[in-house]
């Protein structure tokens, strides 16, 4: 497994957990959708995985990864190409092959004319594309992607999905936190549904359907039933 999560409790203050009893794994070549309503604990779960949540009782086994945050983060006063150049300096890769792949991805996302501009000044959609390019250049064992479709136009979304499929074929594992349930239903191999800081259900779509009692239900419908059930039990 590229990611194994076993959280008994986790939170921002000691003795005040926002997550309880959350456990799941991501293996090679699979895309796992981390889903849940706003405030459910998805972002906190990602923070716990990344080791930036202050108080964690449990364990996270994490392999080589690339993290794509919902809100892009860049180095001040570094151009797009300087970000790429810096990334290359941190990796043990063939420089020529790396630069060729960088140019291919820049062309794919139509950013070739922006390589000497500062990403901090780009639009949200363009910034998201830069984060994707940097992550896919790294070619890690595991991708952790937070709301990847926010700010992307349909064309860029299609290209992202194609790249994700290629990385799965390469053997990479992907954990993707998303609110876009119709797309998640089509592309994810398994789902991890979190609500009220707890794991509600995990498994393939048919397992989620069975747990919700909606044998033919869409992911959206199952999500609605399961989160409402958790809220009522809450």
pLDDT bucket at 231, cuts 50 / 70 / 90: low
What six digits make up the tokens of 184?
A: 């998640």
End-to-end CA separation in angstroms for the chain: 32
Instruction: Average the pLDDT over 51-57 and give the result.
Output: 95
* Stretch (H or E) spanning 209: helix 205-212
CA distance 222 to 225: 5
Mean pLDDT of the chain: 95
pLDDT single digits (tens) 74-132: 999 999 999 999 999 999 999 999 999 999 999 999 999 999 999 999 999 999 999 99
pTM over 0.85: yes
Pick the CATH number of 3-64+140-233 from 3.90.1150.10, 3.20.20.70, 3.30.565.10, 3.40.50.300: 3.40.50.300
> In terms of DSSP bridges, do strands 142-146 and 31-35 run parallel, antiparallel, or are they unpaired?
unpaired
CA distance 91 to 173: 19
Beta-carbon contacts of residue 233 (< 8 Å; ≥ 6 apart): none
Domain boundaries, the chain: 3-64+140-233, 77-139
pLDDT single digits (tens) 31-46: 999 999 888 999 999 9
DSSP 123-182: -HHHHHHHHHHHHHHH--SEEEEESTTTT--HHHHHHHHHHHHHHHHHT-EEEEE-S-HH
């Amino acid at each position: 497994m590229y990611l194994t999560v076993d959280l008994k409790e986790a939170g921002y203050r000691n003795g005040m957990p926002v997550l309880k009893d959350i456990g799941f794994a991501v293996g090679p070549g699979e895309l796992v959708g981390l889903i849940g309503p706003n405030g459910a604990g998805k972002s906190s779960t990602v923070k716990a995985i990344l080791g930036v949540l202050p108080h964690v009782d449990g364990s996270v086994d994490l392999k080589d990864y690339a993290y794509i945050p919902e809100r892009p983060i860049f180095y001040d006063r570094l151009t797009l190409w300087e970000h790429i150049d810096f990334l290359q300096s941190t990796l043990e890769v063939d420089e020529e092959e790396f630069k060729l792949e960088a140019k291919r991805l820049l062309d794919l996302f139509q950013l070739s004319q922006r390589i000497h501009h500062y990403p901090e000044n780009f639009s949200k959609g363009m910034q998201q594309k830069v984060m994707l390019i940097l992550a896919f250049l790294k070619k890690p064992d595991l991708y952790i992607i937070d709301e990847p479709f926010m700010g992307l136009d349909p064309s860029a979304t299609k290209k992202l999905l194609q790249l994700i499929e290629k990385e799965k074929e390469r053997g990479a594992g992907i954990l993707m936190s998303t609110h876009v349930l119709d797309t998640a239903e089509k592309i994810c191999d398994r789902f991890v549904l979190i609500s009220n800081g707890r794991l509600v259900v995990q498994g393939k779509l048919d397992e989620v359907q069975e747990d919700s009692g909606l044998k033919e239900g869409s992911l959206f419908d199952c999500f609605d039933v399961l989160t409402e059930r958790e809220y009522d039990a809450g």
